[in-house]
Amino acid sequence: MNKNNNSTQKNALSIFQIAVMTTISVASLRTLPPMAEEGKASILMYIIPAILFLIPTSLVSAEFATTYKGGVYIWIREAFGNRMGFVAIWLQWIQNVVWYPVQLAFVAAALAFTINRGDLSNSGIFTAIVIIVVYWFSTFLAFKGGNLFAKVSSIGGMIGVLIPGAILIILGLLWIVQGQPISESYLQSSYIPKVTGISSLVLIVSNVLSYAGMEMNAVHAGQMENPKKDFTKAITLAFILILCVFIFPTLSIAMAVPADKLGMANGIMVAFQVFFEKLHIGWMSNVMSGAMFLGAIASVVTWVAGPSKGLLDAGRTGLLPPILQKINKNNVQVNILIFQGIIVSILAMIYVLFPDVSDVFIALIGMAAALYVVMYMLMFIAIIVLRKKEPNIERGYKVPAVNIVSGIGFISCALAFIMSFVPTTNEAAIPRNMYPIIVAIVVFLLGIPPFIFYALKKPSWDMRSSQEKEKRPIH
């Protein structure tokens, strides 16, 4: 018995591992250059969404994770039933499928700069090849199961997110100490965000989605020694790390690099290049690009493991056909991972069809955002419903002023949903007047399958044992 306990403790996820996994799930250095273009206003543009979205999401996730076993599927199911629980986990899963090519395009750009071929960062063919190769590598890594994904994401997160973020802060301080010229765009910027039109407002509101993903690692709370106490600590640490990774490196970039040099996919690599060339150690930009390459892969590995596991849990209740419920000897949902890999490979071909990678980048982010915020709106309503439905259940953590906190989060998501249909720039790849129509069509096509699966479900699809059917998902 002691041997089993020791084995469980040895394999348990630590507070630090969960915090780093959550940080790299949320904080991406890829998002810094567009915000750096806003100069000093980026501070408020990070803090306002953090207050209106990150804090509510963190608090609600902490209560859910320390009360119910599992993730978004369980949370929404307990409040609204199996169909809406399935819809919620589907939205989380499918938005990730759309997000993977976006994150992996950043991986491609980082690889291009690592091998001293920055020009390849704007090559659609190169980007598509990297997306497909790296994604399938991450998928086969996920097949191993266990805590391998946690080790990879923790180490990769340190190497590719936290350390480069800290180095950017140091480089920014050195830039000031050495009296290097501060970029004109930074000097002319204001601490108050400028709202010069609908596109400016879209950028501010859509920044809510920069903090998406806080809830994703809640599915792993049960793998901690004491989830009721430790998960809340992990979320608190992740919250601090995320703000640090976002705000300070962004200011460093804004001070040193002119706004017109910052591209969407390769901007962060360009920033490191500017810093290190000024210090006469240009080769270090290749090292940093390599580190971010590893970090971005780690974030993909993290996201591959979470939502697809939640989708399997939902599918086993009879919502997915048996072929998609297949697991391997490591208890990993292999066929779901293969299915999403096929979709990602198809989406990767968009980069071949549209030569301007940045345009594709922006369009995919908008489509993913529209799907994701619907799931968050369900989550914010669910916490209020469950407080009334099950007032006496033991909760490891309780959100203070839950109605106000959830209300703020819901409104923020509703605004982000509306703004996701408005392009932030005049894209060349997608005509401005067609953009909302295309996003609406894609959102409909990607959002309708759970309702179809639910309508077609058969009793034979339910693969649970009688004990599993009776067991409640409560810690």
Question: What integer pLDDT is reported at residue 408 of this predicted model?
Answer: 95
Q: With b meaning 16 or more CB within 10 Å and e meaning fewer, what string describes 290-308?
A: bbbbbbbbbbbbbbbbbbb
Question: What integer pLDDT is reported at residue 402 of this predicted model?
Answer: 93
3-state SS assignment for residue 391: coil
For residue 255, report the phi and psi dihedrals to the nearest 5 degrees.
-70, -35
CA geometry: angle 401, 407, 412, nearest 5 deg: 130
Q: How far is CA 348 from CA 137, 142, 353, 360, 427, in A?
A: 15, 20, 10, 10, 19
Question: What integer pLDDT is reported at residue 410 of this predicted model?
Answer: 95
Report the alpha-carbon distance of residue 338 to residue 284 in Å, rounded.
37
Question: What integer pLDDT is reported at residue 70 of this predicted model?
Answer: 75
Q: With b meaning 16 or more CB within 10 Å and e meaning fewer, what string describes 226-246?
A: ebbebbbbbbebbbebbbbbb
- Mean pLDDT, each 10-residue run in order, the chain (475 residues): 49 80 78 83 87 88 84 91 92 84 83 86 87 88 69 73 89 90 85 66 68 74 75 83 89 84 71 88 88 79 75 88 88 88 88 68 68 92 95 85 94 87 63 80 86 89 75 63
Percent helix / strand / coil, the chain, rounded to 5: 75, 0, 25
**Structural tokens at position 112:** 């291009």
Give the DSSP letter of residue 232: H
